Amino acid sequence: MKTYQYLWRLFRYRPGLYAVNAIIWAIIHVFPVIPGLLAQQFFNQLQHTSGLSYQFWMIIMLFVVTTLARVCLILVGGGIDTVHRFSINNLLRRNMLARILERPGARAVPASAGEAINRFRDDTRQAEDAVSWTLDSIGQIIFSLIAIIILFRISPTITLFVFLPLVCVVAITQAMHTRLERYRRASRKATGEVTSAIGEIFGNVQGIKVAATESSVVQHFQQLNEKRRLSMLKDRTLEQGLNAIFGNTVGLGTGFILILAAQALRSHQMGIGDLALFIYYLAFVTDFTQLFGTFLAHYIQTGVAFQRMHELLQGAPAAQLVAHYPLYIRGPLPAASQLTTKEAPALNSLQVTGLSYRYPDTGRGIEDISFSITGGTLTVITGRIASGKTTLLQALLGLLPMDTGKISWNGQVLKDPASFFVPPHSAYTAQIPRLFSATLQENILLDQPEEPARIAKALHTAVMERDIATLEHGLQTAIGTRGVKLSGGQVQRTAAARMFVRQAALQVFDDLSSALDVETEQILWERLFQQPEHTYLVVSHRRAVLKRAHQIIVLKNGRIDAIGTLDQLLVENEELQQLWHGNLAEDE
């Protein structure tokens, strides 16, 4: 889509509000026509009288009234424009967020989180300004047309020179079109890299300190900031340089016009009132000329902003970025939808055939994965580091879009695994759980209703009852950003409790017990196996888990190396033998 097509669809969002906003600001910009005409009458009459008559006082009063009326309109228009801006900005954010939530969870954002935040913050503001500035441009164009007609009747020659700077401004902007786009895209990209680096540094402070890499991290951050500084400097210098050129072009044109007006006044072709009208209108027309040039440059930069926001849609039609949805700015909010809490459907069999996924940037991933799971059993996926264990889980659950393959639940082929593998069908605990800066109970429940019996059962299964007793406010304890107030094992078991409270048929763990001590891990697995109605799919290398498995899937270089029981694989499979006697010896 072209930039004007994006803007047109945004104009049509809440058209009544846009129309009212446009009318008010058109009146605000046209209002100076009246004071100009009053000034013309005042000075023309002043030439022919020696005192202030009743007519003079009426002109002065009308001048004051029109100025006050314009001030009042600006206050009203400012309030309406704020609401309109808010609507436009948040419609774009809503549509981008909705698309991100539609995407497979592990590949929801195409770039870094910092880059996405930059687009949500700066690019939406750029589009918001473009929509709002069109209102100013419309009003100033109407004023300029009226002023042209009035001034043309006084002096056609001088009036023609009034718009000569406008032609120069448009020509300069078009000449700098490509450079404006390039510099704006570079500055936005550099800003996103810095924002992303800040998030990564704050999120990995402990790892940085343990590795004693503070100096190198700071040096890398300084390099990113220097790159951003240079990019922003080029972008702002070009923008400010164009504004200066526009201003000087307008200033030179204004000076030339005033010289022509002075000559006309000397030759009595214009009266003093006519000169006052020319000077008064000229200020507004020249402001419009400069602002119009700025708007053209901003319009080009807005095209870059729309392109960057469209990249977040990742293949969705461009129209989806500006699709119309309610925002619920006023009035009651709609009731939040909750995942169903009905009993989990029985899982008899899960069949995976030919599942493949490769990461676009590296080409690594999984290839031709096929296996089956029987309901009520424990299946363990194991293998060396980077063998594809996490990728397999994410591709199976729809968190990554499979390249090829077929997944069947109880014999029925799943067309959309991402929307199917949610409670009550399945629940998932990632290798690095994500907790929110909220209470422990809020992190466990999220969208679920507060049912004490279900919460207690989930906490018991996750071996959390002792931890709850030691926390200052129990379940109502605020755990801080990413659960910073909890230990690594408590974070993992909180995420597990979040999964257990949903009572899903298939429960998927990605190395759940890696941060647990031996005793806690043993209790957790004993409690899990007291619930035969559930089926478990687990990534683990721990011997305690492998010994309990009904089936073990050994991955090597993204492919299945072997499938079987522990006893079978320890005899037949060299890969598991090496893992069992080598990497896993410390877990004996």
Give the pLDDT of residue 586. Answer: 42
Tell whether 303 and 368 lie within a shared domain: no
Q: Which residues have a Cβ under 8 Å from the Cβ of 260 and sit 6 or more positions away?
A: 155, 157, 158, 161
403 and 315 part of one domain: no
Residue 536 in any domain: the answer is: yes
- The pLDDT of residue 345: 72
Plot region of 73 (φ>0 → left; ψ -120 to 50 → alpha; else → beta): alpha
Same domain for 39 and 173? yes
Q: Identify the segments of the chain with pLDDT beneath 50.
A: 339-341, 583-588
Give residue 250's pLDDT: 67
The CATH code of the domain that includes 410 is: 3.40.50.300
Q: What is the pLDDT of residue 89?
A: 94
Q: Does 568 fall in a domain?
A: yes
CATH code (residue 83): 1.20.1560.10
Statement to judge: residues 393 and 276 lie in one domain: no
How many other CB atoms are there within 10 angstroms of residue 555's CB atom? 23
Does residue 197 lie within any of the structural domains? no
Based on the domain organization, do 247 and 142 belong to the same domain?
yes
DSSP assignment letter at 474: G
d(CA 277, CA 273): 6
Q: Are residues 156 and 304 both part of a single domain?
A: yes
C-beta of residue 143 within 8 angstroms of C-beta of residue 29: yes
Which residue among 305, 322, 339 closes a domain?
Answer: 322
> Would you say residue 77 lies in a domain?
yes
Whole-number Å distance between alpha carbons of 479 and 367: 40
CA distance between the termini of the chain? 61
What whole-number distance in Å separates Cα of residue 422 and Cα of residue 538?
Answer: 17
pLDDT of residue 585: 41
Q: Does 232 reside within a domain?
A: no
Residue 303 lies in a domain: yes
Any long-range contacts for 10-17 (C-beta under 8 Å, 24+ apart)?
Answer: 10/88, 10/91, 10/127, 10/131, 10/322, 11/131, 11/134, 12/324, 13/87, 13/88, 13/91, 13/322, 13/324, 14/84, 14/87, 17/80, 17/83, 17/84, 17/87
| pLDDT 10s digits, 417-461 | 988 998 889 999 988 888 888 999 999 998 788 888 989 999 999
Structural domain for 423, as ranges: 349-587
Q: Which among 301, 320, 314 is positioned nearest to 3, based on CA atoms?
A: 301
The predicted pLDDT at position 341 comes to 46
**Do residue 311 and residue 387 come from a single domain?**
no
Predicted confidence (pLDDT) per residue in 469-506, tens digit: 888 888 999 988 777 788 888 888 999 999 999 889 99
Question: At residue 212, what are phi and psi to the nearest 5 degrees?
Answer: 55, 45
> To which residue do tokens 């001048």 refer?
63
- Looking at the fold, whether 362 and 290 belong to one and the same domain comes out as no
Residue 340: what pLDDT?
47
Q: What is the pLDDT of residue 50?
A: 61
CA-CA distance, 128 to 84, in Å (whole number)? 9
Judgement on whether residues 159 and 85 belong to the same structural domain of the protein: yes
| Claim to verify: residue 279 and residue 402 sit in the same structural domain | no
210 falls within a domain: no
pTM of the model: 0.70
Q: Angle at Cα 459 formed by Cα 491 and Cα 505, nearest 5°?
A: 95
Assigned token pair, 362? 């590296």
Tell me how many domains the chain contains.
2
pLDDT at 405: 95
| Claim to verify: residue 317 and residue 353 sit in the same structural domain | no
Peptide bond into 424 cis (omega under 30): yes
438 shares a domain with 302:
no
Would residue 439 count as lying in a domain?
A: yes
